[in-house]
Structure 1
Amino acid sequence: MNAAVVRASGEPPAGGTKKTERPLVVGVDGSEPSLRAADWAADEAVLRGVPLRVVYASLWERYEGTALAGEHKPSEEVRADDIVAVAARRVLKRHPDLEVSAEILAEEPEYALVREGRDASALVLGTRGRSGFVEMLLGSVSLAVAAYADCPVIVLRGGHDNHVGDATAHRVVVGVDESGKDSAAMRFAVEEARLRRAPLDAVRAWRCPAHESVDHPLLAGEPARLHEEQAVETLDEALKNAPADVDVHRRTVEGPARHVLLGASRGAGLLVVGARRRPGRLGLQLGRVAHGVLHHAACPVAVVPEPA
C-alpha cells in the first residue's frame, strides 16, 4: 500500500533514509485517542533517537474493492490516506526534525500491528479505537497486540496527557516478579527512566498465605516478616545491575500485585510490566497482572515480552 518517508517539507529525504535504528511504530485510526498516541509516540521517538512509523490498518478492500484503472480511489482508501496524512503532519509540527514514515495496510489491525512489531523498537497504541465496543475498558486491538507482539507495547490509558515528560515529570514504575532476575521489563524500565531523567520505582508486591498464619501471639508476625524479607531480596536481585545514573527507589508492598501496581500507577508517567510468552499456549499471552493494569492503570502501560 501507500508508504512514504516525510519531513517537515513533506518531501522524502534525498537518497532515502540513512537511519538504521529500529523505528517506533504507532497505530492510528483517525480517532482522537490515536492522534494523542501519535503525539506521545513522537516525543518517545525523539527521546530514543529513532524514526517514527505511522501505520493505519483496515480491511477496506474487502468491502469496497480496489479501484479500476482510471477510476477514483474507493472512499475508504481516501479516508485512510487522510488519516495517515493528518497524523504525520501533526507529529511533524510537533517535532519538525523527526523522521516520519507512514503506511496504509489493507489488513486486520491486530495482525498488521503484531507483524510491524517484529522490526520495531516498540509499538504505541491508544486505549481504544473506532469500533462500536465503546463500553470496553480496553479496545480489542490494543489488548491483542499487547498479548502477541514481539516488542514492547505501550498502551496510552484514557487519562494520560500527550507528552512523554521531562526531568520534573513523572516516575517510571516497574513491577518486579518472583524470579528476581534482570528481566527484559526491568531493562526497558531502566532505559525509560534514564531517557526521561526520571526516578525509577521498582515495586515488589508480596503476600503472606493464610495457611501460614499462626495462633501464638509471639509468633504472629513471623510469617509476614519472612515474606517481606524475601520480597526485599527479590528486589535486590532484580536491581543488582541497575546503573548508578538512574535514581532507583525500592518498594515492597503487601497485597495482590495487580492492586499494588494500580496504586503505584497514580501520578506515574509510565508503568512497566513483563508478559511471559509461552509457545504452544492458546489464548491471550498475558498474565492476570498485565491484563489487569492494561484495563485499569492511571498512566500509560508498557507490556514487555519476557522469554518463557
Structure 2
Amino acid sequence: MNDYTEIIFLIASFALLILFAYLANKVDYTVQVKGTNGWNSVSHVIQALYACMYLLVILIALLAKVKNIYTIAVILASILGLSLLIPAVRKGLAKMIPINPNSHVHTFALLTSVFIPTTLFQSLIMPTSLAEVQQENITLVSTLSSIWAQNILCAVLAVMGVGYLTRRNWQQTRERLGLYRLTFKQFLGAIAVAVLFVLLQWGLTIVFTQLGLSEEQEVLKVNEALMAPLFNSAIGIISIGLAAALGEELVFRGALQPRFGIILTSILFALTHANYGLSIGTIVVLVLGFGMGYFRKRYSTTYTMVIHAAYNILVGTLDYFFP
C-alpha cells in the first residue's frame, strides 16, 4: 500500500465512523428531546452493518492460513462485539459502567471500541516482518502525514461522538470532553507528572528485564524501522507528542472515560497500542493509561494532553540522544 492509498483509506475509514457517530447522536436527540422515533431505523442499519463486519472478521480469521493466539483473540473479540447488539447484555454492562443501555450513542461507542482492537488483532494473524518493512520507502513526510491525519481524525470523531452539532453546542462539547484552561501551576504539574511517567517506564522496563521478560527482538526491530523517520528529527519527535495528545486523549480520556471508566478505557488504550503484538510494552502503556485516567478524573483532559505530549517528547528526545 503506497503513501497516498494509505492516507485515503485512513480518511475514508474515519469519515465513515464520524458519519455513524453523527447519526447515532441524531437518533438519540430525536428520541430523547423531540420524543419521536423517526431516526430509529438509521441506528438499526448501523448496528446491522457492525454485525456484518464482525461476522466477516470471524470468517476471515477462520479461513486464514496462519493460526496463532491472535486468531483466537479475533474470534473471541468479534463474538463479544456481536453480543453488544443484544439489549440484555448492555443492561448487564450498565450495572458496571455508567452507560445507558438504550442509548444509540453508547451502543455505537461500545461496538466501535471493540471493533478497532479486533481489526488490529486481525492484522497480527500475519504480522509485518522486518524484511517487508525494509522494502518500503518510509519517509518523514509520509510518516508525519499518517500520524497527523490519524490523530486529527480521532479528534473529530471524539468531538462528533459526544454530540457536537446534534445534542451539544461547542461550549457543552468542551465541557463534556473535559477541555478546560490550565493555570501555569497546573501546566508545570503536568510536566512534572510526565517526567515521573518516564521514570516509571524506565523502572518497569528494568524490572521486566530482570525477570527475564523483555520485548521480542523482531517486534522491536519492526517498530524501530517504522518509527525511525520520526525519532530521527526534531519535528518528528514533537509531532509524536502533540498529535497523540490531540487525538488519543480526546478519544480515550475525553470521550470514553466518563462512560467506560478508568479501567476499561485504559485496557482499550493499551490494546490500540499493540500494533505489533501484545508485549511488555503493552503492560507499560496500560499502567500509564491508569495514571492518565486518574489525572483526567482529578483535573481535566487538557491536563492529560500536556502529560501525554510531554511524555512522548521526553521519550523521543532520550531515544535520540541515548539510542
TM-score (norm 2): 0.30
Return the structure number with greater helix share.
2
Return the structure number with greater strand share.
1
Higher relative contact order (CA 8 A, sep 6+): 2
